Structure 1
Amino acid sequence: MVFKKMLGAFGVGGPSVDTVLSQPGAQPGASVTGQVNLVGGSSDAAIEHITLGLVTRMEVEHGGGDQQAVGEFHRLTVSGPMRLGSGQHLSLPFQLILPWETPITAVYGQPLRGMVMGVRTEVSIARALDKGDLDPIQIHPLPVQQKILDAFAQIGFVFKSADLEYGQIAGVHQALPFYQEIEFFPAQQYAHVINEVELTFVTSPRQVDVILEFDKRGGLFSGGHDNFGRYTVSHNDAETTDWTSVVDGWVRQAVEHRQSAPQAPGHGLGYGQPAYSHHGHYQQSHGHGHGHGGGSGMGGVAMGVVGGLAAGYVAGEIMDEVFEDDEGED
């Protein structure tokens, strides 16, 4: 087996590591399995711990502007103290449970432009830490997330880009220190009133908070401003809801909302002082149960926009190139 990287922190003749994922991707809340393969170096090594971390790139406000930063947001200890003999081959299995709020990085198998994520392996020997292996991973949408993305495409919105913003959304419970923004160019029928739409999913085991930000165009006698909407949807509704109608209703609600009713300070969703906020809840009136639901529902509509989504949700970077600078700093 060819190992990806010698553990350079331990010098020439040190051990090498290769982390192998059983599958290239998974959905939020699911498990990623694999094994960490080690080969001992020219002498025995006392390993203090082996840890896996989910690493991604996000935007962080600094000095009045945004800067990109690479950060770890989830960790798993694969092994505690152990001894790796000279030339010894050792495989350590693992099961990494993805947080429910893990951001989407791929749609219909195509990398999402602007999103990168990897599993990084850390090996500690004699208080020297080496981040020796980085493996890209794809995070696919949950069924209800996919249906909402399909609905935006079906209405005519065009995917623009996605990124992660470091921070918390006021009024929304978040387990992770960042949130994802998926940006769309407006559909033709809304282009005269909307510049773009930003979509955020904040996911938990039972439901998904859907936060929408509409960048509205200014009129002849009024400036443009942002409208906001927040909706709570159930995983169980994925296959039994007409999501095209639901999402179009959200958009129409934002477009038709009067511009003369800004919220008082201290309210809203935490993106500054929003001019519009709505809390809606789509609760299934029938067909509740466990899991993500079943049936065909909107399957035909979803399949009809697969081509458009696959063409639009394409990565602009390659994982190795994106994390090259990060690895070089280690």
Structure 2
Amino acid sequence: MAFRKFLSALGVNAPSVETVIENPQVGPGGTLRVVVTAVGGGADVDIERVRLEVVVRAEDREYNHKTAWKHPYTVVTADLEGFRLPAGETVTVHGEVVLPWEMPLTHALGAPIAGGRAAVRTELAVDKSVDQGDFDEFEVHALPAQDAILQAYTDLGFRLHEAEVKIGFHPTIAPSMKSRQTEKYWQEIDFFLPEHMTWGNLELETVFTAREDSLDTHPGGYPPATFFYDDLDQQAWTETLKKHVTTYWPSYKK
């Protein structure tokens, strides 16, 4: 829900700003459409810049890694032109932010993912100071291909646990197979192992590297299986994922 916040940089009788996300459910590679409404306060002011920041919850930045959402990480920004805001009047500006294909997910298979959070933070440059005037969460839903892989894991007995965004480049166990990651962060999606599977860890961490036409799925840091969107076939993809998992974890017998 959008809310109006008074710009603290200008003190009493300050202007207020409200941000509304027109399409609060979007997928990686999609475009957020944002409307920013500013209402003038007791005097004319110049809004020098409006910046839209897409931020996510990043485990590296939170002291309480289970619940905190106080120090988000900026994924992408878009700057809108500034404007003159007369006292007591209303000015509305429209903007768009294109999400990267590797955008972390907050929802998959029609439900929220524990630990997945994303928001648009509206930042205004006013009177030579910066004021973060609004903060609005939105949902990032998995691409059909990502949902298909998550469904495949489910069909193979894995249980989705949570997601964590980490800053930097994802390390792979096999040095000969480097990740095709392009963003300076990655999202781990953690699964509880099937009951019949024995392994040193209790969970399997999977990393998606999505592109416009295809998706790499890294299970546990090992080389990825690549899936092309045009070839989406749930049964075939489940079999491919099963073969890939058993290559590295022979204990998977199902």
State how far apart, in whole Å, the 2-side matches of 1:101 and 1:25 are. 16
Aligned twin of 1:73: 75
Give 3-state SS (helix, strand or coil) of 1:236's partner: helix
CA contact 2:120–2:137 (8 Å) conserved in 1: yes
Residue matched to 2:146: 145
Quote how far apart the aligned CAs of 1:202 are: 1.0
Secondary structure class of the residue paired with 2:57: strand
Report the residue type matching 2:245 in the other structure.
Answer: V
Return 190-199 or 51-60, whichever deviates more: 190-199
Which 5+ residue runs of structure 1 have no aligned equivalent? Answer: 214-226, 258-330
Of 208, 212, 232, which residue of structure 1 is paired with 2:215? Answer: 208
Bigger Cα Rg: 1
Does the CA-based 8 Å contact 2:3-2:19 persist in structure 1?
no
How big is the shift at 1:242? 1.9
After TM superposition, the score normalised by the length of structure 2 is: 0.86
Distance in 1 (CA, whole Å) between partners of 2:40 and 2:236 is 56
Q: Which residue identity does 2:192 align to in structure 1?
A: F
1:188-242 per-position Cα deviation (integer Å, ceiling 9, x unaligned): 23146662211100111122121110xxxxxxxxxxxxx7231222121224662
Matched-pair contact (CA < 8 Å) for 1:10–1:128? no
Q: In 2 relative to 1, CA 3–12 (structure 1 residues): closer, same or farther, beyond 3 Å? A: farther
Change (3 A) 1:43 1:205: same
**Shift in Å at residue 45 of structure 1?**
0.5
Counterpart of 1:165 in structure 2 is 166
Distance 2:201 2:123 in 1: 45
Q: Which amino acid aligns with 1:156?
A: G
For residues 73 and 17 of structure 2, the distance between their equivalents in structure 1, rounded to whole angstroms, comes to 21
**In structure 2, what is the Cα distance between the partners aligned to 1:164 and 1:117?**
11
AA partner of residue 252 (structure 1): T
CA distance 1:199–1:192, change in 2 (3 Å): closer
Secondary structure of 1:190's counterpart equals: coil
Counterpart amino acid of residue 70 in structure 1: P
Q: Corresponding residue for 2:43?
A: 43
- CA 1:252–1:95 in 2, change beyond 3 Å: closer, same or farther? same
- 1:109: how far off? 3.8
3-state SS of 1:228 partner: coil
Count of paired positions: 239
Worse-matched range after superposition: 150-159 or 234-243: 234-243
**Hey, what does 1:10 align to over in structure 2?**
10
Equivalent residue letter for 1:175: T
Structure 1 runs of 4+ with >6 Å offset: none
Partner of 2:97: 96
